[in-house]
Structure 1
């Protein structure tokens, strides 16, 4: 797995650097069509680098596509890669975007690489081997008090009323609640102990798989909102420090 991680990291960094060469802080899209065109172009740039590289590294592994983002996967190995996680930030000239790859084996994330080109940081995890940013180990928060918790979330596609009710319930209990995109970055913050809790309705596999492994390997707890260990096919997620997970699961299950 060490050599596999090295090879995958190199491929992800090549793809991210190709995006960085075109990135500008002054980027401002004019409308949704402009954003969509930019997104397709950026996806094509990364895919042309990443898919051949990863297919050569692990030719037996299949690729998760858009039809499988909320489905249980067939047995075996799968690449779950987001060519540009946080594309909406990229096209608005903001720096929270990345290239994200997870290798999933029999519906468990076993390897993750997240590369932030603007900050030059690389986040990695291998199942059973810990989580790291630039080779420095990550550890989740040790907080246990709900009223001291920093909570993050990502806006869902359709469940806006339930989302609003959940936000209200959390605002009554937690120290701070913030909504942000994309879903990978708040999970990185949980893994690093900067943030204590992350939850999301209507999550997709490609958007959360790498973060699930990073949080878990950093000592966090990641489940669906029924309290079961998260796996592909789950459409909601709660990732938290172990001292807070149970309390926040209870809050969200009452919404």
Structure 2
């Protein structure tokens, strides 16, 4: 991977994402905001608009010729070229409910493969970064996935990708959680995906799966886990890319066992 990604673009993107994180942190309260659905949705959109206002143009300027994915909940393959897949408030639903599990993410995707990502957690100040071929890091320290080989000893996660999933997707989520509760040690069901995937990349969790193709929740974590030595596939066992219909990221020694549990569902 060209060194300009690591030496020039990554520092620039990290600065932009951290700056955007200041905006999101200023909007944070420790109490829930909104009672009705309309009020909650309004708070979510307000967060997105405020943060995008300080990161969209700087990111586009940092990578001339890059394009912007407008819908953060969109899935499917992207057209050829380089695209910014950004979540200005990853875990927005947590943010507006006064919970601490949220972040700002920016990922550069080239021909449906993530090649650079920054995930910043404004409350803790932690910043996770990765470039294709350049490794994954937490504040400059290398990340390495878990060495576990027994799925029965594994801490595994999943979650709902977006509101209003299909009934079939909800059924698959329920059945897969039941199956993994039997096969694994402990299963976490929470949102957002990225906040679980950084734990997989850091070796704190052992696997994460999702029945979804929502790009903004997966591209950052996919690159972090892969660059930390993990295995990232769809549930057919094929290499994952933006547009894959489902997702599994795991420590390499438990990946096959997790795939055996999930692929029949």
Q: Same fold (TM over 0.5)?
A: yes
Matched, 1:212 2:212: no
Matched, 1:78 2:83: yes
Shift of 1:67: 8.6
Which blocks of at least 5 consecutive residues in structure 1 are unaligned?
Answer: none
Aligned to 1:53: 58
Matched residue count: 255
Indicate which of 248, 251, 257 corresponds to 1:247. 257
Matched, 1:64 2:69: yes
TM-score by length of 2: 0.93
- Tell me the secondary structure at the aligned position of residue 198 of structure 1: strand
Matched, 1:179 2:175: no
Matched, 1:110 2:120: no
Matched, 1:170 2:175: no
2:37, 2:137 → 1: CA distance? 36
Aligned to 1:192: 202
Matched, 1:8 2:13: yes
- Tell me the secondary structure at the aligned position of residue 33 of structure 1: helix
1:166, 1:26 → 2: CA distance? 33
- Tell me the secondary structure at the aligned position of residue 66 of structure 1: coil
2:28, 2:76 → 1: CA distance? 33
**Mean alpha-carbon deviation: is it higher for 5-14 or for 65-74?**
65-74
Aligned to 2:158: 153
Moved over 4 A (4+): none
1:219, 1:32 → 2: CA distance? 41
Check conservation: 2:72, 2:87, Cα contact below 8 A: no
Aligned to 1:221: 231
TM-score by length of 1: 0.97
Which blocks of at least 5 consecutive residues in structure 2 are unaligned?
Answer: none
Shift of 1:204: 0.5
